Amino acid sequence: MGLLDRLSGLLGLKKKEVHVLCLGLDNSGKTTIINKLKPSNAQCQDIVPTIGFSIEKFKSSSLSFTVFDMSGQGRYRNLWEHYYKDGQAIIFVIDSSDKLRMVVAKEELDTLLNHPDIKHRRIPILFFANKMDLRDAVTSVKVSQLLCLENIKDKPWHICASDAIKGEGLQEGVDWLQEKTIQSDPSCEDMKR
Ligand SMILES: Nc1nc2c(ncn2[C@@H]2O[C@H](COP(=O)(O)OP(=O)(O)OP(=O)(O)O)[C@@H](O)[C@H]2O)c(=O)[nH]1
Ligand SMILES: [Mg+2]
């Protein structure tokens, strides 16, 4: 780390960087959400299905998030686990209108929660019950019931209803994620004082 970097860190000008994994089935809206969280001049106009994964960045008031935006397509889901170790927080996105695949989303979530690199860590998980604008969407309470989120006892979690196209519900989620990441990550110790 250079002198300037260290100085700006000490003066509180440089935001602490944290690694976030963005997971969920294909078409749930992960890339659209991450794109909307970037400053408007950095947003991409055409979102296409992610191939493999892409690394994106966005900032909150105190943190700089480096996001591993993973593809949710079946053939790429086995890539997710390779990034679990380095993840300090998780964003898990659900298409609230895709009732048929809610059970698949639950299976992927259960596999994630039981993975050895995740199971014993108090890693915060933010759920976006996305696509709330669609007529078929179920409520975030229903999504939470379908995924049995109340069974998650050993990790802080929160669910936000969102419409990623309009950007609704996203800020509430990021505010929660920032607070919990600072609380649960030992590398953010100096920010708690
Ligand atoms: N109506 C509606 N459409 C949305 C919303 N969020 C995303 N979409 C649309 O859903 C489609 C898939 O969005 P992506 O962001 O590419 O989904 P993804 O989860 O990144 O998909 P993969 O990269 O394949 O895993 C796109 O056509 C988006 O415009 C939302 O809140 N409401
Ligand atoms: Mg994507």
Give the model confidence (pLDDT) of 73-98 as tens digits.
Answer: 999 999 999 999 999 999 999 999 99
Say which residue the tokens 């998980």 belong to.
125
What pLDDT is attached to residue 186? 74
Catalytic residues: 73
Coil vs helix vs strand at 118: helix
Q: The tokens of 174 are what?
A: 């990021």
Q: 131 alpha carbon to ligand 1 midpoint, in Å? A: 8
**29 close to ligand 1 (CB < 6 Angstrom):** yes
Question: How many angstroms separate the CA atoms of 107 and 103, rounded?
Answer: 6
Q: Could you give the maximum distance between any two Cα atoms of the chain, in Å?
A: 54
Residue nearest to atom 12 of ligand 1 (CA): 27
> For residue 102, what is the enclosing H or E element?
helix 102-113
Q: 171 alpha carbon to ligand 1 midpoint, in Å? A: 18
Structural contact between residues 96 and 113, judged by C-beta atoms closer than 8 angstroms = no
What pLDDT is attached to residue 12? 60
Coil vs helix vs strand at 95: strand
What pLDDT is attached to residue 121? 96
